[in-house]
């Protein structure tokens, strides 16, 4: 199923993001997570991230194809510009398409650790919009892109960041998935600005349940997202109680989802971190509420 067509149905679309496991034990845990989520809240689609290393990239290809073949779930493959020239990107995409994949999330990708900034390889792409254009031109597939309610960390201004989003859509992105955020006002403000700039494609909120305080502080520092002060204070007050931290995080995410869906968001994309409990709990709370 093409993901752009799912969003065209005008109903809430629920999706989960996974990353390729690094060991046999992690692979077994991920299989359990996929099975649990499929049983409890069958997703409309799942996505699989794309790492910077060759072995990780191969696992992405294998996992996306296996999810579709073994679990019968529509899967979206992430692709990045990191370390690939255009011909190599085209070859990876062709392998995925030959394996039945028809959905891609086109990303520039983060510069390798230790790099001063992002530099494309010779013959490669400097921007996600170029990757979007290649996929739309060379393959009959659905292509999405990323967007940043709180501005990409490398953008000088919100207007400059929005200009990149507009160009990405003009290049062929059929839907956008946001970076994680914890204050819905940031999402709503971004959507308003994007619509005013002519962006008409679905803008899907990306939600990451807080299950570990140190971990989420690390993530937000890297991606530039903000934890609202009241939420951060509540989490810090329970820093020595992991179960309480998770409970606070799940309730906050559930409230976010209820408000987002109530205001007409096209769905929710969950950053699961390959775990099912928090996402299952949030979806149960949303559907019960």
Per-residue pLDDT in tens (0 to 9) along the chain, 289 residues: 999 999 999 999 999 999 998 888 998 999 999 989 988 888 999 999 986 555 567 888 889 999 999 999 999 999 999 888 999 999 999 999 999 999 999 999 877 666 667 888 888 999 999 999 999 999 999 999 999 999 998 888 999 999 999 999 999 999 999 999 999 999 999 999 999 999 999 999 999 999 999 999 999 998 889 999 999 999 999 999 999 999 999 999 999 999 999 999 999 999 999 999 999 999 999 987 6
Identify the pLDDT of residue 40.
Answer: 85
pLDDT at 257: 98
| 217 in catalytic set | no
Q: What are phi and psi of 85, to 5 degrees?
A: -90, 175
DSSP class of 85: B
Which of 172, 142, 147 is CA-nearest to residue 158? 147
Read off the pTM.
0.94
The span from the CA of 37 to the CA of 42, in Å, is 6
Nearest to 179 by CA among 228, 219, 120: 219
Q: Pick the catalytic residue from 9, 17, 36, 217.
A: 17
Q: For position 110, what pLDDT does the model report?
A: 78
- Which residues have CB under 8 Å from 284's CB, separation 6+? 40, 41
164/174 Cα distance (integer angstroms): 15
Instruction: Identify the pLDDT of residue 56.
Output: 66
- Domain coordinates of the chain in residue numbers? 3-284
The Cα 95–Cα 29 span in angstroms is: 26
Look at residue 150 in the predicted model and tell me its pLDDT.
Answer: 96
At residue 116, the pLDDT reads 66
Q: Using an 8 Å Cβ cutoff, are 269 and 205 in contact?
A: yes
Q: Specify the CATH architecture of the domain 3-284.
A: Alpha-Beta Barrel (3.20)
Quote the pLDDT of residue 149.
Answer: 96
Helix (H, G, I), strand (E, B) or coil at 58: helix
């Amino acid at each position: 199923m093409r993901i752009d067509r799912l969003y065209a149905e005008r109903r809430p679309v629920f999706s989960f993001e996974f990353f390729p496991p690094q060991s046999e034990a992690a692979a077994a845990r991920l299989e359990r997570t996929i099975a649990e989520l499929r049983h409890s809240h069958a997703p409309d689609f799942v996505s699989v991230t794309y790492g910077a290393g060759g072995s990780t990239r191969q696992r992405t290809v294998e996992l996306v194809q296996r999810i579709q073949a073994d679990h019968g779930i529509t899967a979206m493959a992430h692709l990045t510009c990191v370390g690939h020239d255009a011909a190599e990107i085209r070859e990876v995409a062709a392998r995925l398409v030959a394996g039945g994949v028809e959905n891609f999330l086109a990303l520039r990708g983060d510069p390798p650790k230790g790099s001063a900034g992002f530099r494309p390889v010779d013959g490669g792409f400097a921007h996600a919009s170029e990757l979007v254009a290649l996929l739309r031109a060379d393959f009959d597939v659905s292509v999405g892109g990323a967007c940043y309610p709180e501005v990409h960390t490398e953008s000088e201004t919100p207007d400059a960041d929005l200009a990149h989003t507009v160009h990405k859509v003009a290049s062929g992105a059929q839907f956008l998935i946001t970076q994680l955020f914890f204050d819905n006002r940031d999402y709503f403000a971004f959507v308003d600005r994007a619509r005013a700039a002519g962006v008409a494609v679905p803008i899907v909120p990306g939600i990451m349940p807080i299950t570990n305080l140190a971990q989420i502080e690390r993530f937000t520092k890297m991606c530039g997202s903000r934890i609202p002060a009241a939420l951060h204070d509540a989490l810090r007050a329970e820093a020595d109680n992991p179960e309480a931290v998770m409970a606070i995080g799940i309730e906050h995410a559930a409230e976010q989802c209820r408000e987002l869906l109530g205001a007409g968001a096209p769905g929710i994309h969950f950053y699961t971190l390959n775990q099912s409990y928090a996402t299952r709990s949030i979806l149960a709370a949303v559907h019960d509420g």
